[in-house]
Amino acid sequence: MFKFKQKYKDFIKPDEELKEISNGSFKDIINGRFLTRKKVLKQMPFIVYLVVFGIFYIGNRYKSEKIYQEMIELEQELKNLRFESLTTASNLMFISKQSEVIKKLEEVNLDLVESLEPPLKIKHRKSVN
């Protein structure tokens, strides 16, 4: 009947498979000859995928560590600024006390005198039209 040409080999002959396996030596690995074998060449797209994936993984790890270090630095700066804010508020409260204001006025030699009378409330009557 009809004879079809086989484009692809469905089976590898046992002697070819044994030849391909038995040729592996340390010398082949060192000089890179093992990379030219059929089995390795068939797996090359997957190997490239793994290498690219590994590079992205390593880059992501470095980026996350850098972000983590920045976060620690910003937390420390926030802590220092919080302490500075509390200290400044405390100093402002102390300076604005009436006794401290009088001491500062005396140091500057202004002719201001403390009023001994309490302030008066001024009430405004609503006019009815």
Rounded-to-integer distance, Cα 41 and Cα 47, Å: 10
What value does the mean pLDDT of the chain take? 82
* 36-89 confidence digits (pLDDT tens): 667 777 888 898 999 999 999 999 999 999 999 999 999 999 999 999 999 999
Q: To 10 degrees, what angle do helices 44-95 and 98-108 make?
A: 70
Instruction: Dump strand ranges (E) for the chain.
Output: none
For the chain, the domains span 14-96
3-state DSSP helix/strand/coil % of the chain, to nearest 5: 65, 0, 35
What is the separation, in whole angstroms, between the first and last Cα of the chain?
123
Query: CB–CB of 23/41 below 8 Å?
Result: no
pLDDT of residue 60: 97
Residue 17 exposure: Cα atoms within 13 Å on the Cβ side: 5
- pTM above the 0.75 mark? no
